[in-house]
Amino acid sequence: MPWPAEEVVLSLEKITVEFDGFRAVNGMDLSLRKNEVHFLIGPNGAGKTTMLDVMCGKARPASGRILFRDRIDLSKKKEHQIAQLGIGRKFQAPSIFSELTVEENLALSLQKKKGVFSVLFARRKEEDARAIERMLSTIGLGEVSGRRAGGLSHGQKQWLEIGMLLIQEPAVVLLDEPVAGMTDAETEKTGELLRRISVDRCVLVVEHDMEFVRQFAGKVTIMHEGKLLMEGTMDEVQADARVAEVYLGKRRDADVVGAPA
């Protein structure tokens, strides 16, 4: 393997988040490593989205440590500083510009990064064009690059959003239910895209679609009531009695989690 699989890029230790005294996250640990698609799952209200909020600076932990690259403590940093350090989050709400073409949307995202780092990383026009070309190919939208983003299918819009995030070259990519509302074919393509982009990068996905998790997970972390319930491969998770118990009666797809692969 070209990179050490065990390299931890982002590490959250004993994170607690409170909302008016209510502990949405309660002493949670989570480590993100390069080269694996890592899924964060758990019943509704388990604290998954709050964990993503903590990682990108949208929510402040009451206690705990967030270490990026082993030395930078993110818990005191502001949202934009965390984004600049290379932690990219795709929210469920769309952020593409419908009236602009696919290519123009990517160019705008690239410009945003350049705006921040323009002095250090001034790029030439041809380099920008190459970066956009590469990204179009990565997200499979080369053939529709000149099309208005508003006219894309739901799946294509999601891939464009992922491309807009990736073109800023984040070290960590955080995604919240990326395949919600997608067709089976789009879901499959998205899984393959996540695998490709996890090379030399951390990809963390909050997901409810257990079939998708089963198919594409490298690692699965399960949260329950703000805490870590267990972590492992999908096979290990499916074989765990506590996991079945947490899901049983709480989600319709509990049988999917508990079922053998």
- Interface residues with ligand ATP (CB under 6 A)? 19, 24, 42, 44-50
* Smallest distance, ligand ATP to C-beta of residue 20, A: 6
Helix crossing, 154-166 with 184-197: angle to 10°? 10
In angstroms, the CA 67 to CA 78 distance is 14
**Cβ-contact 149, 157 below 8 angstroms:** yes
Least Cβ distance, residue 248 to ligand ATP (angstroms): 17
If you ran DSSP here, which 8-state letter would residue 59 be given? S
Comparing CA positions, the residue from 178, 203, 207, 182 lying closest to residue 48 is: 207
Comparison of 71 and 252: residue with beta carbon closer to ligand ATP: 252
Q: If you search the block for the tokens 């698609």, which residue do you land on?
A: 37
Among residues 3 and 19, whose Cβ is nearest to ligand ATP?
Answer: 19
Shortest distance in whole angstroms from residue 173 CB to ligand ATP: 18
Neighbours of 56 (CB within 10 A): 17
Gap between the Cα atoms of 154 and 146, Å rounded: 17
Rounded CA-CA distance 75/68 in Å is 10
Q: Specify the length of the chain in residues.
A: 261
Asked if 55 and 10 count as a contact pair (C-beta separation under 8 A), the reply is yes
* One-letter identity of residue 118: S
| Choice between 57 and 163, CB closer to ligand ATP | 57
Task: State the nearest-atom distance from the C-beta of 208 to ligand ATP, in Å.
Answer: 6
Residue type, 129: A
User: Is the Cβ of residue 92 or residue 168 nearer to ligand ATP in the bound state?
Assistant: 92
The least CB distance from residue 109 to ligand ATP, in Å, is: 26
Q: Cβ closer to ligand ATP: 114 or 250?
A: 250
Q: Tell the smallest beta-carbon distance from residue 79 to ligand ATP (Å).
A: 15
Closest contact distance (angstroms) between CB of 53 and ligand ATP is: 7
Name the residue nearer to ligand ATP (CB basis): 50 or 238. 50
Euclidean distance between CA atoms 121 and 113, whole angstroms? 9
Query: In this complex, which beta carbon is closest to ligand ATP, that of residue 45 or of residue 140?
Result: 45
